[in-house]
A and B are shown apart, each in its own frame.
Chain A
Amino acid sequence: MSKPQNAPGDVRSKSLVDYLNDENVRAVLYQIIAIGLVILAGWYLVSNTLHNLEKQNISTGYGFLDLEASFEISETMIDYSAKSDYASALIVGLLNTVKVSVLGIVLCTIIGIIFGIARLSSNWIVRKLATVYVETFRNIPVLLQLFFWYALIPAAFPHPRDALEPLPGVLLTSRGMYLPVPLADNAYTLMGIAAIIAFVAIYFIKKWATKRQDATGQPFPMLLTGIGIFVGLVFLAYLIGGAPTELSTPALKGFNIQGGYNISPEFMAVLIGLTVYTSTYVAEVVRSGIQAVSSGQWEAADSLGIKRSVALRKVILPQSMRVAIPPLTNQYLNLTKNSSLAVAVGYPDLVSVSNTTMNQTGQAIEAISIFMSVYLGLSLLTSLFMNWFNNKMALVER
């Protein structure tokens, strides 16, 4: 069938109304309008804010970051004193946030997995205890839990003068826990390098072992070998470095315990609070992950004569990970974000330091914009890492 020539529709150019009635044109048009409105609203808010700040004689800009902070921070991972600038103060806060978040994530994962498995235990007492733990700590707001731990720690331990010493050199006081630490020595740098070498070696041996097992079915005692290599190398480095034995031991001097490493009650309260709270969610994620693996997998492992504990480790958990990782990512993000509640119990995290900065300089919008973008960055990084991990763990079709 040939196309009819000179059909009226072809000759007449499309009118505007025809265009507006075209579904495709409309779809694009709506999107443009929507984006335009969003940009307009954003522009309106920003320009209005700047205008109002100027009208009220409030100074703007990030110039304050170079000024002397003039306030002290109790826990710093880098060199900081009241003479440092606001930028360093904010970095101190950021590092404190990262410290408590990373430790919290590691601990809540370990505790969560234990309780998640315990909730499915065939032992009645273990099962019920795990249920009580999960249901109690999951249903109390995390801020209240922080207050609880922070009220408990200074009250439960004695004043530094009558410090408890459960282990030689370890002191427990109302000002926190003090641990003996080795005095700085070149040997420790050497040991760090040895540890890195050990990890690289273990990585390659593991690769080889997996390959061999795939090819021949022969298992390799990876765990023991790994521990052996790590301990051996690090200990060797320690001996080469001259085996320093000097310790900085905590002892009462003046008002406070001096020396050693101090774990403050604020840090403990935040770490325990966040870990306990989040571990209950992790436990539920793990339990749901395990239950998502069909019971046929258990039965198959049984029929091959695999021990139940080995079956859990080698058959069930790897499969349940695939279900568990996405919700686990959510929990890690929640923990990082919840760490901003640390300000309530005086742990000098990013929010706490930003609040002080904001108040001393009056640059509220700037300070808030800094910590909001930092939290966004931290969350995105966590997300990226977990997505990568998820892809790695995903079922590979063969």
Chain B
Amino acid sequence: MKIQTILAAGAMTVAAIAAQNAQAGAVLDGIKAKGFVQCGVNTGLPGFSAANAEGKWEGIDVDVCRGIAAALLGDANSVQYTPLTAAQRFTALQSGEIDILSRNTTATTTRDAKLGLTFVGINYYDGQGFLIPKALGVSATELDGATVCVEPGTTTELNLADYFRAKGMSFEPVVIENINEATAAFFSGRCDVYTTDASGLASIRTQMAENPDDYAILPEIISKEPLGPVVAQGDEQWSDVARWALIAMIEAEEYGVTMENVDDMKANSTNPGVQRLLGVSPGMGEALGLDEAWAYNIIKQVGNYGESYEKNVTAKLGLERGLNALWTDGGLQYAWPVR
């Protein structure tokens, strides 16, 4: 081979890598070009994100990605999922392997400011609790000396250490990355206690325990865990789309727009708020750089927030709305106005 050929090939390779990187900023353009949203989800947390018997991903976190795909691409099924462990999730987002992370992730200062991420909203208000075998019969203040199973790289791991330090108690952590291995260790008796967000405990207890009645979730909640979808910083237009797709789901519930009545509401509602949301009076879609039917598509294909919660969390885990009720019902879910 001639030396010129080698040099030319080398130069072309370098140029190709450089070109690829020059475009890396525009996540939104990338999604439009490939025609689907790459969504990072939990490896298996029923109610939040888990593959069902047909291999289709389901859950309240999955619905966020489906809603965004419906708003942006017009089809809620234009989503590809990447199951991630707690320890892998931020690297996957930072490296651009996924467009959005919707994986029961707690919003914190470090993550928002230091990791180059943006939390676009909160789709589940949660708090950390303890799961114990009923036979143990203790409260959360009597856990001195207990062995605790926990997933690494989570706020849970830090809250756990904080809690025991504050109470002057000691514990022995058993830290296992894969949630299935970690729960197996707990059920085999390796640990006295399993700790994670209360919703996660409910999921583990009802879906993974051989006999759920042998286990109890302690009533004490030791932390605040606002869980929500996250995107990488650098593409504000994309984070706006993600933020408002989530808001539209909550706003739809506030207006009483459901999957079933959305066509009727679009045709007949005289409420100016509903008309703006569903694009009858245009402007909102244009503002976000989306089709005017963006919110209509979400509600038609995925449903409003309440429907998603009911279908995934209440039906599968038996958890009531609690903190996640609308603000009008005494909860914390409060949609910024779409206008």
Contacts and interface: CB of A to CB of B under 8 A. Distances in A.
A265 B191 CA distance: 11
A74 B233 contact: no
A255 B145 contact: yes
A327 interface: no
A48 interface: yes
Contacts of B233: 56-57
A57 to B, nearest CB: 4
Nearest to A266: B174
Interface in B111-157: 111, 114-116, 136, 143-147, 152-154, 157
Contacts of B184: 151
A364 interface: yes
Interface residues of B, number: 52
B21 interface: yes
B173 A255 contact: no
B75 interface: no
Interface string A34-73: 0001001100100010001101111100000000001111
A57 B116 contact: yes
A364 B94 contact: yes
Interface stretch (A110-118, A185-193, A338-346, A386-394): A338-346
A33, A256, A258: most-surrounded residue (chain B CB, <10 A): A256
Contact of B172 (A44, A253, A256): A256
A356 B175 contact: yes
Contacts of A356: 87, 152-153, 157, 175
Given A74-B174, A82-B165, A174-B188, A361 B152 contact: no
Nearest to A83: B165
B185 interface: yes
Contacts of A348: 175
Interface in A301-359: 343-346, 348, 352, 355-356, 358-359
A241 interface: no
Contact of A254 (B86, B144, B160, B162): B144
A180 interface: no
A362 interface: yes
A252 B190 CA distance: 15
A74 B90 contact: no
A287 interface: no
B181 A256 contact: no
B161 interface: yes
Contacts of B165: 82-83
A19 to B, nearest CB: 15
A348 B176 CA distance: 9
Nearest to B3: A33
B176 A346 contact: yes
A225 interface: no
Nearest to B153: A359
B153 A58 contact: no
B158 A360 contact: yes
Interface in B157-180: 157-158, 160-162, 164-165, 171-178
A265 B149 CA distance: 13
A377 to B, nearest CB: 24
A127 interface: no
Contacts of B185: 150, 154, 346
B276 to A, nearest CB: 33
B147 A355 contact: no
Contacts of B86: 359
A37 B94 CA distance: 28
Given A58-B94, A364-B91, A175 B175 contact: no
B171 A72 contact: yes
Nearest to B187: A154
Given A37-B10, A72-B173, A359 B152 contact: yes
Contacts of B161: 70-72, 82
Contacts of A346: 174-177, 181-182, 185
A196 interface: no
A206 interface: no
Interface string A213-238: 00000000000000000000000000
Contacts of A359: 86-87, 90, 152-154
A138 interface: no
Contact of A344 (B115, B162, B181): B181
B24 A74 contact: no
Contact of B192 (A58, A147, A255, A358): A255
B10 A343 contact: no
A141 B232 CA distance: 37
A147 B180 CA distance: 12
Interface string B33-74: 000000000000000000000000000000000000000000
Contacts of B146: 254-256
A21 to B, nearest CB: 13
A378 B158 CA distance: 30
A260 B221 CA distance: 34
Contacts of B160: 72
Interface in B273-330: none
A35 B177 CA distance: 41
30 contacts: A37-B10, A48-B21, A52-B21, A53-B116, A56-B116, A56-B232, A58-B114, A72-B172, A82-B161, A83-B165, A150-B181, A154-B188, A174-B189, A175-B147, A255-B144, A255-B145, A256-B145, A256-B172, A258-B145, A265-B190, A344-B177, A344-B178, A345-B181, A346-B174, A346-B175, A346-B181, A355-B153, A355-B177, A362-B90, A362-B94
Given A346-B175, A356-B175, 8 more contacts: A72-B161, A72-B171, A72-B173, A151-B188, A255-B192, A346-B182, A355-B152, A358-B87
